Structure 1
């Protein structure tokens, strides 16, 4: 596994140590790894969302497609026992 060396200020290190002591992660390295994974995942999701939105801007749904969705939605609601 590759290593990443970084410097943090004392206040941040105390926060990291506190989270590890509370069981949020098994070690400092584990906590940093978890944080990096979350940031990467968040950026990936945002990028995917932007790509989907751009695709809909380039090729919006047609009225027929929207009507089909409305029909399907009404059908699903009508099937509910309430």
Structure 2
């Protein structure tokens, strides 16, 4: 249950970015945060190691999962709005 809260919070953050900004900005934010997650994940594996590295890696994967869910929801929301407005 505790692990679901950060995923929901990050997905909500991406959804709010969608409402405030354009598609181009949303894609850039998704790309930059994904790259940051990848770098942190690699650092947790090769730099930290052991249990601490595993904890950092799990948190990073949860953040990436939240970002992906938020991006997918906003993409579906935008597509639905485009079909309604036409």
TM exceeding 0.5: no
**Larger % of helix: which?**
2
- Under TM normalisation by the shorter chain, which class is it? 0.3 to 0.5
Instruction: Tell me the TM-score normalized by structure 1.
Output: 0.45
Structure possessing the higher relative contact order (Cα contacts under 8 Å, 6 or more residues apart): 2
